[in-house]
Amino acid sequence: MTTQFGVFVPQGWRMDLADIADPVEQYEAMTAVAKAADAGPWDSIWVYDHFHTVPEPTPNTTFECWTATSTLVRDTTRVNVGQMVGCNGYRHPSLYAKIASTVDVASHGRLYAGIGAGWYENEWKAYGYEWPELKDRMGAFREAVQIIHKMWTEDNPTFAGKYYSIDGPYNEPKGVRKPHPSLWIGGGGEKVTLKLVAQYGNAANIGGGDPETLKQKAAILKGHCEKVGRDYSEIIKSTSLNVYPIADGEDKAKAEEKAFRGLPPTWRERYGDPVKTVSEIKAEVEQLVEAGADYVICYIPALAYDHEPLQRFAEEIIPQFG
């Protein structure tokens, strides 16, 4: 089976625009990476739905997810554009469905609409959102996915739940992709998230890039699919990798200077060292594919300053899995 690949554009959330002072230049750096990916073999480009930076909140640029998505789909012509993942708590699900439908049309059907329960407590509170307990976040998330699906598939949808309700909203146009915009549900929760994937999702993103976890979660998803009569094979199983590809034999110390440009020391503490040879990355991807992944989304640091690692991945790794 062919393995497909996506890549995150530098949006600021991971401090990947910190070495560029002018906000217009920052945005153009993000767009330039999107266009470079559009010209290559990548299937998709991605943004995060966050307001504050990581590893810790700082007063640095983080471009808003859906605004960026709507511009990136017009700056590209081929790649799909997604969010990993949309935070349910930041928009009423009916509004989310309306936004996604509009962007799917603007992209001519190239939207990967990401949705998840949300986790970044700091930005929820800073922006004035109530921070619910986990059971309530997951309960709201469950209802949100149902509403989104109804908004995309029914003409006069109604829903009355504990957390949300809708009363026959018009959602026209519903999108371009058939039967509805592609819904990517993020997370590996076995009792709620993976059940929602089995019922409503086009794709599951089980992040972290750990083969054993992926294998375990994929098996659970398959079981949920069997219970609801869903064809497991039609669901995309994706995961994520932090990588900065270098040629076999290349000086790793010099590559690390490029990879960690503008990033604080805490970045490496949280995400580890992404600098790896092409051979090492191929081996990692092979392990993920064997564990059940058919889609890999890469975060490559420092793309705002240098497209070489993006091109190396595209030329030396992606063709091996086509």
Please report the sign of the dihedral spanned by the C-alpha atoms of residue 232, residue 284, residue 267, residue 63: negative
pLDDT for the residue numbered 268? 86
What's the rounded mean pLDDT across residues 196-213? Answer: 92
For residues 195 and 178, is the Cβ–Cβ distance under 8 A? no
Question: What's the rounded Cα separation, in Å, for the pair 246 and 112?
Answer: 29
- Residue type present at position 124: W
189, 191, 155: which is closest to 171 by C-alpha? 155
pLDDT for the residue numbered 317? 97
Q: If 0-12 CB within 10 Å is exposed, 13-18 middle and 19+ buried, where does residue 282 land?
A: middle
Question: What's the rounded Cα separation, in Å, for the pair 224 and 197?
Answer: 9
For residues 44 and 78, is the Cβ–Cβ distance under 8 A? no
The three-state DSSP-derived secondary structure of the chain is CCCEEEEECCCCCCCCCCCCCCHHHHHHHHHHHHHHHHCCCCCEEEECCCCCCCCCCCCCCCCCHHHHHHHHHHHCCCCEEEECCCEHHHCCHHHHHHHHHHHHHHCCCCEEEEEECCCCHHHHHHCCCCCCCHHHHHHHHHHHHHHHHHHHHCCCCEEECCCCEEECCCCCCCCCCCCCCEEEEECCCCCCHHHHHHHHCCEEECCCCCHHHHHHHHHHHHHHHHHHCCCHHHCEEEEEEECEEECCCCCHHHHHHHHCCCCCHHHHHHHCCCEEEHHHHHHHHHHHHHHCCCEEEEECCCCCCCCHHHHHHHHHCHHHHC
Name the pLDDT band for 290 (thresholds 50, 70, 90): very high
For residues 243 and 212, is the Cβ–Cβ distance under 8 A? no
pLDDT for the residue numbered 1? 62
pLDDT at 233 over 80: yes
Question: What's the rounded Cα separation, in Å, for the pair 52 and 62?
Answer: 6
Tell me whether the omega of the peptide bond preceding residue 59 falls within 30 degrees of 0, making it cis: no
- Find the helix packing angle between 193-200 and 134-153, rounded to 10°: 10
Contacts of 279 (CB under 8 A, 6+ apart): 248
When the pLDDT of each residue in the chain is averaged and rounded to a whole number, the result is 96
Tell me whether the omega of the peptide bond preceding residue 173 falls within 30 degrees of 0, making it cis: yes
For residues 17 and 30, is the Cβ–Cβ distance under 8 A? yes
Query: Percent of the chain at pLDDT above 70?
Result: 100
pLDDT at 45 over 80: yes
State pLDDT tens for residues 80-91: 999 999 999 999
What's the rounded mean pLDDT across residues 162-168? Answer: 98
Strand partners for 237: 204
Question: What's the rounded Cα separation, in Å, for the pair 68 and 66?
Answer: 5
pLDDT for the residue numbered 269? 86
pLDDT at 137 over 90: yes
State pLDDT tens for residues 246-279: 998 899 999 999 999 988 888 888 888 999 999 9
Instruction: Determine the straight-line distance between the first and last CA of the chain, rounded to whole angstroms.
Output: 8
Question: What's the rounded Cα separation, in Å, for the pair 117 and 89?
Answer: 7
What's the rounded mean pLDDT across residues 63-81? Answer: 98
What's the rounded mean pLDDT across residues 35-59? Answer: 97
